[in-house]
Amino acid sequence: MPEGPALLEVRHAVRAWLAAHPGPVAVALSGGADSLALTAASVAEAPNVRALIVDHGLQEGSAEVAATAAARALELGVVDARVLPVRVTGSGGTEAAARRARYDALNLARGDASVLVAHTLDDQAETVLLGLGRGSGPRSIAGMTAFAAPWGRPLLGVRRVITRAACVELGLEPFEDPHNTDTDFTRVRLRHEVLPLLEDVLGGGVAAALARTAEQLREDGAVLDALAGSVADTDGPDIEVSAIEKLAPAVRRRVLRRWLIGRGVTSSTDRQLRAVDALVGQWTGQGGVALPGGTPDARLVCSRRRGRLSVGLENE
């Protein structure tokens, strides 16, 4: 395998990740530059690497693209390359539905391995900008983590230009997904319009600065999460208001988020969480807060009664 400077940078990133998170790994391979470079580096740094290629079926010829990616992975030295055809359906638009289908398929196929995905520093910067623009709160602005089991992201400190250069060093021509230039997608416009403009206006270094901001927020958030876990019991079906009402709002919302997750509410927005927090910190007798979940006939609601919060179904 060539030892050019770009590939070496990718290999060093993968090596550092593996040292921190040992164990078997599979690589989510699309055939693009980022995932090809990640696959090559992973094969060089880890034993028995498998490649998992998701065929979303959204473009004509997607099966051939997936088959080509699998063949390249085998040439790079993976022990197995498996194509995973999926159906992209459901709410939230094509981008969100494809993401759900992709991660579900990868999770089912990974066995006991962590799945390495090829998100780069540029992807991290785009994620932070999306969070800022949507007012999604610090957890979203903190971006992606290097490891959130079973998903590993060794390349969060590597620029996209490096992965492309690594493919040149390897003599590989990456697949260029037309969706990556489709300006109907917000992230594509961020990548090709907003970030270049910010780099120009602010004199460069914006992507790296956004990634550093995300890292700082993750570090601060980890401290607050640990504090929230130590100050209140969130294992019960209800939570006593008096036990948390004097907590600082940032800590209290983390307590409530942990409790809601324990009640099966895993996708609440920052606005919904703040509305639940208002049942504690700004109580004026208001009604319950509707949350994701429920049934066709009843909605899932967090309510305050007799000094306690509870989550349950209420008829529409």
Cα separation of 263 and 281, whole Å? 21
Are 156 and 119 in contact by the 8 Å Cβ rule? The answer is: yes
Q: Is 235 annotated as a binding residue?
A: no
Instruction: Look at residue 94 and give its three-state secondary structure.
Output: helix
Amino acid of residue 151: W
Distance of CA 157 to the CA centre of its chain: 15
In this structure, the strands spanning 298-305 and 289-291 are antiparallel
Q: Are 255 and 244 in contact (CB under 8 A)?
A: yes
And the tokens for 277?
């927090």
Backbone angles phi and psi of 93, in degrees to 5 = 90, 165
Q: CB of 114 within 8 A of CB of 149?
A: yes
Q: Are 51 and 70 in contact (CB under 8 A)?
A: yes
Distance, in Å, from the CA atom of 153 to the CA atom of 219, rounded to the nearest integer, reads 17
Going by their DSSP bridges, the two strands 151-152 and 114-116 should be labelled as parallel
CA distance 142 to 124: 9
CA distance 231 to 70: 49
Tokens 């197995």: give the residue. Answer: 80
The reply, when asked if residue 32 is annotated as ligand binding, is yes
Position of tokens 């055809």?
Answer: 85
73: buried, middle or exposed (CB in 10 Å: 19+, 13-18, 0-12)? Answer: buried
**Is residue 30 annotated as involved in ligand binding?**
yes
Annotated ligand binding at 31? The verdict is: yes
Residues placed in the known binding site for ATP: 30-35
Residues placed in the known binding site: 30-35
